[in-house]
């Protein structure tokens, strides 16, 4: 597999040249935030008019690490399900965030916002947390230390492996990949009715 | 009658929490290797390779394989000839969980009230299921259940006339909806029959079976094989990026039900089906 390299500081052009389905090795700064940090950041923006970090040109990795054992920089830190952050994401993209790394489906609002703002959504391998934590070279808590694993962190990663799922043109690997290897036509039944009107609908 | 102090259960639970989190069982890792042989997507193969590397790295470095070290589900089978002394067994289980999560550097993911959401700081309480068995032993199974997959579980009260077709479609829809969120390739536990809560519990218990082992009930074993075939045709693949291996296995557990009902429960487990058992 040929991997593309993405090195910080990334430019808008770097991000818009990413293509759905590409494997990427990321080196640079990522902010780490999940459910509670997103809720708090959004509250802060609504009340104070700014986020606890400047999202312009940055990226967020959705993860809540396990505690760091003695001698380690961070505990295992794999991606968490991105869909829970959907409601907070368009505001961050409108404010200059370049891309997100997580796992799982995004809402149509998020996909629209990715396209509109020239952003990208990537996935890291869910469950490969021990392996992924090896790519994290440093970490510090930026805000909300009381949230423990849900605190807002700033990471420096080296050759962090991710796959581009949704690119700035709205191509979605979760749909395209599935279509490519699909051997039945049973669900997305409405879809099926249109595309395969004569096929038997049971598997 | 065998007298057993519950203190011993605390230590066993502590140890099992840590082991289950660090070491993905060999028979599960074997599923990754087997999938590599048949998977058609190069990207999915690359991902399966990462899962193998991750399992090896976690086990050899004594770190959890996944940052979501779960909410702990404990299945307790108590021999009818056992007389338990000491502190209440539920307390000892929870103390064991708290110790294991602290000492093992596992993530504490449990919040108090579901709407207040304050982290309990100990990963307790565990969810404990009791059962009685013959003999003078206590069997304890510890299953740390991650919520990426648990969130995608589903339940339906179908009509008896929906039959096997309805059951298949509901399971298929559930797996399609889970898509990339639940970290496929998946292990699927199916609970069929009983009442609503019985079906849910059966679907969770189904996930305790070893991969490759079919139900001893012919009808259920047939359904398992049909479902494995059907779900692997969805194209979802490893992590949902497309591929020919979407499920590693499907386990069906059934129970008699009411003339008016056909309860179906689907409990989903990610690619790392982890649980530990001890007999005391």
Q: Is the pLDDT of residue A198 over 90?
A: no
Q: How confident is the model at residue A191 (pLDDT cuts 50, 70, 90)?
A: very low
- B125 with B171, same domain: the answer is no
Q: Confirm whether B75 is domain-assigned.
A: yes
- B181 with B120, same domain: the answer is no
Q: Confirm whether B259 is domain-assigned.
A: yes
Q: Confirm whether B206 is domain-assigned.
A: yes
- B229 with B101, same domain: the answer is no
Pick from A23, A131, A182: CB nearest B233: A182
- A160 with A195, same domain: the answer is no
- A133 with A199, same domain: the answer is no
Question: Domain ends where: B145, B178, B196?
Answer: B145
- B126 with B156, same domain: the answer is no
Q: Is the pLDDT of residue A192 over 80?
A: no
Domain of residue A185: give its range. 173-203
Q: Confirm whether B54 is domain-assigned.
A: no
Q: Confirm whether B265 is domain-assigned.
A: yes
State the Cα torsion B235-A62-B145-B180 to the nearest 10°: -10
- B126 with B214, same domain: the answer is no
Percent residues over pLDDT 70 in chain A: 90
The reported pLDDT for the residue numbered A190 is 42
Kindly identify which residue of chain B lies nearest to residue A70, measuring between CA atoms: B105
Q: How confident is the model at residue A202 (pLDDT cuts 50, 70, 90)?
A: very low
Q: How confident is the model at residue A12 (pLDDT cuts 50, 70, 90)?
A: very high
Per DSSP, chain B holds a count of helices (H) and strands (E) of 8, 10
Report the alpha-carbon distance of residue A19 to residue B1 in Å, rounded.
68
Query: Residue B230 and residue A21: Cβ atoms within 8 Å?
Result: no
The reported pLDDT for the residue numbered A189 is 47
Question: Domain ends where: B118, B145, B172?
Answer: B145
B183 sits in the region (left: phi over 0; alpha: psi -120 to 50; else beta) called left
Read off the pLDDT of residues B54-110 as tens digits, 9 standing for 90 and up.
Answer: 999 999 999 999 999 999 999 999 999 999 999 999 999 999 999 999 999 999 999
The reported pLDDT for the residue numbered A128 is 96
- Can you tell me the mean pLDDT for B192-198? 98
- A15 with A42, same domain: the answer is yes
- B78 with B177, same domain: the answer is no
- Count the domains in chain A: 2
- Count the domains in chain B: 2
B149 contact A CB<8A: no
The reported pLDDT for the residue numbered A186 is 54
Percent residues over pLDDT 70 in chain B: 100
Domain of residue B185: give its range. 148-274
- A203 with A134, same domain: the answer is no
The reported pLDDT for the residue numbered A184 is 83
- A113 with A194, same domain: the answer is no
Pick from B40, B53, B229: CB nearest A181: B40
- B117 with B238, same domain: the answer is no
Q: How confident is the model at residue A2 (pLDDT cuts 50, 70, 90)?
A: confident
- B152 with B79, same domain: the answer is no
Higher pLDDT, A187 or A8: A8
Query: Residue B243 and residue A177: Cβ atoms within 8 Å?
Result: yes
- A19 with A60, same domain: the answer is yes
Q: How confident is the model at residue A1 (pLDDT cuts 50, 70, 90)?
A: low
- A37 with A131, same domain: the answer is yes
- B222 with B267, same domain: the answer is yes
Read off the pLDDT of residues A53-86 as tens digits, 9 standing for 90 and up.
Answer: 999 999 999 999 999 999 999 999 999 999 999 9
- B170 with B237, same domain: the answer is yes
List of chain B residues whose C-beta atoms are within 8 Å of the C-beta of residue A162: none
**Which residue in this structure is represented by tokens 């970090």?**
A53
Read off the pLDDT of residues B129-185 as tens digits, 9 standing for 90 and up.
Answer: 999 999 999 999 999 999 999 999 999 999 999 999 999 999 999 999 999 999 999
State the Cα torsion B155-B78-B18-B100 to the nearest 10°: 100
- A190 with A144, same domain: the answer is no
Read off the pLDDT of residues B267-280 as tens digits, 9 standing for 90 and up.
Answer: 999 999 999 999 99
- Distance between A38 CA and the closest CA of chain B, angstroms: 15
Q: Is the pLDDT of residue A188 over 70?
A: no
Q: Confirm whether B113 is domain-assigned.
A: yes
- A108 with A179, same domain: the answer is no
- B182 with B128, same domain: the answer is no
- Distance between A47 CA and the closest CA of chain B, angstroms: 22
- Can you tell me the mean pLDDT for B207-222? 98
Which CATH number covers residue A100?
A: 3.20.130.10
B87 contact A CB<8A: no
Question: Domain ends where: B122, B145, B168?
Answer: B145
- A87 with A108, same domain: the answer is yes
- B209 with B239, same domain: the answer is yes
Q: Is the pLDDT of residue A35 over 70?
A: yes
Q: How confident is the model at residue A3 (pLDDT cuts 50, 70, 90)?
A: confident
Helix B89-103 and helix B7-22, axial crossing angle in degrees, nearest 10: 40
Pick from A65, A103, A181: CB nearest B41: A181
Q: How confident is the model at residue A201 (pLDDT cuts 50, 70, 90)?
A: very low
Q: Confirm whether B60 is domain-assigned.
A: no
The reported pLDDT for the residue numbered A67 is 95
B126 contact A CB<8A: no
Chain B segment 156-175 residues within 8 A of A by beta carbon are 165, 168-169, 172-173
Q: Confirm whether B53 is domain-assigned.
A: no
- A126 with A187, same domain: the answer is no
Percent residues over pLDDT 90 in chain B: 99
- A41 with A98, same domain: the answer is yes
Report the alpha-carbon distance of residue A96 to residue B97 in Å, rounded.
43
Read off the pLDDT of residues A127-169 as tens digits, 9 standing for 90 and up.
Answer: 999 999 999 999 999 999 999 999 999 999 999 999 999 999 9
The mean pLDDT value of chain B amounts to 97
Report the alpha-carbon distance of residue B262 to residue A130 in Å, rounded.
41
């Amino acid at each position: 597999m040929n991997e593309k390299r993405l090195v910080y500081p990334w430019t808008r052009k770097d991000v818009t040249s990413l293509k759905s389905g590409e494997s990427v090795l990321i080196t640079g700064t990522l902010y780490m935030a999940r459910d509670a940090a997103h809720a708090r950041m959004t509250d802060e923006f609504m009340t104070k008019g700014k986020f606890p970090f400047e999202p312009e040109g940055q990226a967020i990795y959705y993860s809540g690490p396990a505690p760091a054992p003695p001698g380690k920089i961070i505990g295992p830190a794999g991606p968490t399900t991105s869909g829970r952050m959907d409601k907070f994401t368009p505001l961050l993209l409108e404010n200059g965030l370049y891309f997100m790394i997580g796992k799982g489906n995004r809402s149509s609002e998020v996909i629209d916002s990715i396209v509109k703002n020239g952003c990208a959504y990537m996935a890291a391998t869910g469950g490969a947390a021990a392996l992924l934590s090896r790519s994290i070279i440093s970490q510090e808590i930026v805000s909300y230390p009381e949230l423990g694993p849900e605190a807002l962190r700033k990471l420096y990663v080296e050759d962090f492996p991710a796959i581009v799922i949704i690119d700035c043109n709205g191509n979605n690997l979760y749909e395209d990949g599935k279509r490519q290897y699909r051997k039945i036509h049973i669900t997305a039944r409405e879809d099926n009715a249109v595309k395969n009107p004569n096929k038997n609908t049971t598997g | 009658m065998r007298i057993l102090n519950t203190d011993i259960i605390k230590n066993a639970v502590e140890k099992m929490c840590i082991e289950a989190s660090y070491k993905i069982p060999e028979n599960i890792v074997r599923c990754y290797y087997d999938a590599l042989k048949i998977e058609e997507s190069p990207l999915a193969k690359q991902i399966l390779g990462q899962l193998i590397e991750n399992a090896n790295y976690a086990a050899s470095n004594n770190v959890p394989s996944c940052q979501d070290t779960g909410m702990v589900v404990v299945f307790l089978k108590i021999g009818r000839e056992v007389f338990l002394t000491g502190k209440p067994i539920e307390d000892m289980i929870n103390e064991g969980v708290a110790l294991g999560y602290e000492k093992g550097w596992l993530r504490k993911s449990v919040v108090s009230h579901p709407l207040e959401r304050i982290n309990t700081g100990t990963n307790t309480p565990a969810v404990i299921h009791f059962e009685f068995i013959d003999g003078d032993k206590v069997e304890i199974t510890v299953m740390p259940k991650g919520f990426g997959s648990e969130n995608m579980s589903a339940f339906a009260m179908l009509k008896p006339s929906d039959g096997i077709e309805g059951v298949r479609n509901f399971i298929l829809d559930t797996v399609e909806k889970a898509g990339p969120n639940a970290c496929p390739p998946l292990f699927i536990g199916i609970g069929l029959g009983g009442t609503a809560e019985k079906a849910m519990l059966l679907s969770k218990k189904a996930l305790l079976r070893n991969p490759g082992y079919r139900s001893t009930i012919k009808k259920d074993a047939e359904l398992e094989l049909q479902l494995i075939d059907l779900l692997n045709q969805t194209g979802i693949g490893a992590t949902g990026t497309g591929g020919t291996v979407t499920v590693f296995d499907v386990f069906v557990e059934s129970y008699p039900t009411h003339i008016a009902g056909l309860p179906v429960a689907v409990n989903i487990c990610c690619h790392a089906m982890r649980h530990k058992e001890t007999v005391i």
